[in-house]
Amino acid sequence: MQIFNLFIGTVASTMSIVVLVVVLMHYVYLDLKPELMRSIPKLWLTAIVFGALGAAGWFSAWARAREHRFKLLIEAGMAIVGGLSIALLVAIYR
């Protein structure tokens, strides 16, 4: 479970950074292509969802490593955040 939490935290945090770089590139080229403005809110939401999932993964890994007394509750919260993240990403890009 520890490796899974670290994997989710790493991948989701990396994806959040990648999407934020894409948002930055959209802002740089906004004057050349005004139609890019339509995709910026979706990209911000995607970055926020991946950031929340990454934070939940890292927090869950921290709780497991420190043998926190609420580690099972925190890991259950990680599962809820994971499910909500998938649902939000499907809703955003539907």
Range of the domain at 23: 2-92
pLDDT tens digits, 23-36: 999 888 887 787 78
| pLDDT score for 65 | 84
pLDDT tens digits, 14-69: 999 999 999 999 888 887 787 788 889 999 999 999 999 999 999 988 888 888 88
Instruction: Report the domain count for the chain.
Output: 1
How far is C-alpha 59 from the chain's CA centre?
13
How far is C-alpha 29 from the chain's CA centre?
25
Query: What pTM value is reported for the model?
Result: 0.85
Token pair, residue 89, equals 């990403």
Token pair, residue 30, equals 């906004």
Token pair, residue 78, equals 């990680």
